Homo-oligomer: A and B are copies of this chain.
Amino acid sequence: MSDLVKEVRIGIIGMGRQGKIHSRNIVSRIEGARLVCVSDIYIDSAKEFVASLDRSIDVYEDYRDIIKREDVDAVIIASPTTTHEQVITDAAIANKDIFCEKPIAPDLATTDRLIELVEKTGVKFMVGFNRRFDPTFKRVKDLVVNGNVGEPQILLITSRDPAPPHLEYLKASGGIFFDTTIHDFDMARYLVDDEVTEVYATGNVLVDPRVKEFGDLDTTMVTLKFKNGAIASINNSRQAVYGYDQRVEVFGSKGSAQAFNETPNTVMLFDEDGVHSDKPLYFNEQRYPESFVNEVSAFVECIRNNTAPPVAGIDGKIPVLMAMAAKKSFDENRPITIDSIQAEVKGGNTR
């Protein structure tokens, strides 16, 4: 469904943490959208949550009950990555517009097939890279697009979590490049407004020695080269004891746009020991609440105005290629081109 509509009727598939965030936002803060129904295999828990929203919203165990409803215009897919293929396929065939949390699929071949499918069916397909919709990063992007920094030459991204997730989560995460740096790969493309040609990655295990056991890293530094000649450096850590550290800088021929961390208040205490203020906001949900509202608003608007989604299928795919290049670069300790990864993929290696 892509005709101009007054109100976009949405079903959410998957009522985990992210599904709940989207539910609350649609109910209370997003113009032009109505949450019609949700689904989750843990239907009791979903029912309890939906009751707290105090609206008439249907709850299903099977997502297909959402997709078969004619009065649902669009779906938000917030179920586990392994389910995406089936859900996207069913939704696209049922002509529902799709907002899908990243990653699109666990492997590139599936990703490509799904991108092709949604293109063929003509449904809107948007990938959930929320940080693009954060007001601070959006402002940096605007300064780049409006020419205030001139030609981008250097990009710096600092992206550090306040604390590592559970080890079990880490083991299943696919590795730091696919789980964490992937957001920064997207941010890099977004801010420089150009494509990356080569990746060099290094890293170490400095936070928790146990991640070595399953071959992952917790502290990384990635260098990117862009087509336009710009160079980027991304550093990640699983543990910044002072909170979620999310900064970017785009330096160019006319200046430098720098985004600093958000804080819970603006208070400074001057005392005998020095000057003190509170730590940056703790994590994802504290730091990026507006981005979750803004990304779904953008999805709703692209449906209502029949315009292209601001984050397309290809934008979901390329960061995966970059993560693959980073992984290989670290493994072989040499820079890896994106082209070589693409060639490998075509040759059958889909990670």
A:244-260 near B, CB below 8 Å = 245, 251, 253-260
Bound CA–CA A334/B200 (angstroms):
9
B255 touches A259 (CB 8 A): no
Q: Does A231 contact B (CB under 8 A)?
A: yes
A241 touches B254 (CB 8 A): yes
Q: Which one of A78-86, A202-210, A307-315 is at the interface?
A: A202-210
A271 touches B254 (CB 8 A): yes
Residue with the greatest number of chain B CB neighbours at <10 A, chosen from A29, A135, A265, A266: A266
Bound CA–CA A184/B230 (angstroms):
21
B266 touches A259 (CB 8 A): yes
B267 touches A206 (CB 8 A): no
Q: Which one of A115-123, A124-132, A272-280, A341-349 is at the interface?
A: A272-280
A:186-245 near B, CB below 8 Å = 200, 202-204, 206-207, 219-221, 223, 225, 229-233, 235, 237, 239-243, 245
B154 touches A237 (CB 8 A): yes
Q: Does A172 contact B (CB under 8 A)?
A: no
A261 touches B266 (CB 8 A): yes
Known: A241-B255, A251-B237, A276-B274. A266 touches B136 (CB 8 A): yes
Total identical chains: 4
Bound CA–CA A334/B148 (angstroms):
34
Residue with the greatest number of chain B CB neighbours at <10 A, chosen from A230, A239, A265, A269: A269
Besides the contacts A143-B267, A245-B270, A275-B276, what 15 more A-B pairs have beta carbons closer than 8 Å?
A: A34-B54, A135-B264, A143-B269, A149-B271, A153-B204, A200-B202, A202-B225, A203-B231, A241-B255, A241-B271, A241-B272, A258-B268, A259-B265, A259-B266, A272-B279
Bound CA–CA A219/B22 (angstroms):
42
Name 21 A/B residue pairs within 8 A (Cβ), A-sorted.
Answer: A24-B28, A34-B54, A135-B264, A135-B265, A136-B267, A139-B265, A200-B202, A219-B231, A221-B231, A223-B223, A239-B253, A241-B255, A242-B272, A245-B270, A255-B270, A255-B271, A257-B267, A258-B267, A274-B277, A275-B277, A333-B335
Q: Which residues of B contact A230 (CB under 8 A)?
A: 204, 206
B251 touches A272 (CB 8 A): no
Q: Does A102 contact B (CB under 8 A)?
A: no
Q: Does A17 contact B (CB under 8 A)?
A: no
A53 to chain B, nearest CB (A): 9
Residue with the greatest number of chain B CB neighbours at <10 A, chosen from A158, A277, A334: A277
B258 touches A206 (CB 8 A): no
Q: Which residues of B contact A93 (CB under 8 A)?
A: none
Quick one: which of B275, B279, B333, B334 contacts A270, CB cutoff 8 A?
B279
